[in-house]
């Protein structure tokens, strides 16, 4: 369990994660333990690329960090040499992780459930998520990509969340507290209100009424001016959002499945490597 936040700015890109890792019971239905010292944020060799993981804390008996290291050492597609585009590195890493997922997670799930993997509902399949952020070759603007397995099993299926020049924030995994804070609502609340309105009216809302409701709920969201935001402010913004989720799970009923320390990394347009800020380790 994790929250991950990415922020794409004109001077670079920032990634933030918590450090909690959840260990499930053997049958996968409950929580056996939550550890607060997991590493989910990595620099990809000497490239201007950072990787943030969410979802499963590992594949089989190995941590995500060990797979990052294997990918760096083997460089199966040769993308870590030269001036490859970020999309090429993302596709190579997606293919690499997908193979590990198929070799390790799929047979384990089939053995535990007694079903073939294609018979298991999507919601019950373990998710391995990766946010890849950084710069392509000699590009002066950064990008953000998202890999989700097993959904992104097909070649070229990784999603570009922020292309060059598209500035803003994105949230992944257990992001409901962020959505509620920034938007002033979430999908559950809107659905509940919509259902109640239709009960009162005795009919479905018209298209015009739906547009009015949409205008009302979207008007209450906070506006964050990302254009021209300095990297230092961006770091504090990402830290705030990750801490928001950490403290939500700290105080609300349930296991603190998001917790521990805030880990933040960034890469700037100055041509440096992706750097993990030591004060947040």
Check: CB of residue 58 under 8 Å from CB of residue 1. no
Identify the pLDDT of residue 138.
83
pLDDT value, residue 14? 98
Residue 18 has what DSSP assignment? -
pLDDT at 281: 40
**How far is it, in rounded angstroms, from Cα 8 to Cα 235?**
11
pLDDT score at 280: 42
Instruction: Give this prediction's pTM.
Output: 0.91
Domain boundaries, the chain: 3-180+227-280, 185-220
Question: Residue 250: CB partners within 8 Å, gap ≥ 6?
Answer: 256, 259
Write down the pLDDT at residue 73. 95
Count CA atoms within 13 Å of residue 80 on its CB side: 19
Pick the CATH number of 3-180+227-280 from 2.160.10.10, 3.60.20.10, 3.30.1330.10, 3.40.630.30: 3.60.20.10
If DSSP states are collapsed to H, E and C, what string results for 202-240?
CCCCCHHHHHHHHHHHHCCCCCCCCCCCCHHHHHHHHHH
Q: Consecutive 10-residue runs of the chain (281 residues): their mean pLDDT?
A: 94 97 63 84 93 90 93 91 85 97 92 91 91 93 97 97 98 96 91 93 94 90 94 98 97 91 96 81 40
| Residue ranges with strand state E in the chain | 3-9, 12-17, 21-24, 31-35, 41-43, 49-55, 58-59, 62-63, 128-134, 143-149, 159-162, 168-173, 263-268, 275-276
With H, G, I as helix, E, B as strand and everything else as coil, classify residue 196. Answer: helix
């Amino acid at each position: 369990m994790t929250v991950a936040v990415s922020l794409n700015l004109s001077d670079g890109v920032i990634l933030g994660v918590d450090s909690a890792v959840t260990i499930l019971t053997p049958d996968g239905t409950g929580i056996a333990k939550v550890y607060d010292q997991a590493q989910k944020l990595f620099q990809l060799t000497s490239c201007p690329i950072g990787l943030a993981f969410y979802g499963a804390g590992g594949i089989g008996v190995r941590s995500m960090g060990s797979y990052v290291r294997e990918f760096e050492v083997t460089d199966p597609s040769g993308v870590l040499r030269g001036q490859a585009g970020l999309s090429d590195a993302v596709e190579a890493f997606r293919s690499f992780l997908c193979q590990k997922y198929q070799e390790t997670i799929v047979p384990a799930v089939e053995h535990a459930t007694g079903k073939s993997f294609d018979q298991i509902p999507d919601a019950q399949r373990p998710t391995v998520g990766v946010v890849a952020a950084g710069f392509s070759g000699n590009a002066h603007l950064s990008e953000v990509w998202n890999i989700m397995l097993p959904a992104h099993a097909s070649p070229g299926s990784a999603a570009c969340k922020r292309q060059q020049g598209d500035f803003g924030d994105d949230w992944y995994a257990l992001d409901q507290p962020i959505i509620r804070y920034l938007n002033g609502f979430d999908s559950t609340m809107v659905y509940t209100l919509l259902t109640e309105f239709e009960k009162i009216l005795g009919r479905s809302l018209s298209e015009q009424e739906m547009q009015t409701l949409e205008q009302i709920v979207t008007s209450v969201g906070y506006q964050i001016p990302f254009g021209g935001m300095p990297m230092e402010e961006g770091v504090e913004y990402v830290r705030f959002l990750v801490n928001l989720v950490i403290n939500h799970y700290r105080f609300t009923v349930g296991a603190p499945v998001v917790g521990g320390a805030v880990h933040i990394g960034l890469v700037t347009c100055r041509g440096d490597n992706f750097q993990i800020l030591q004060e947040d380790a």
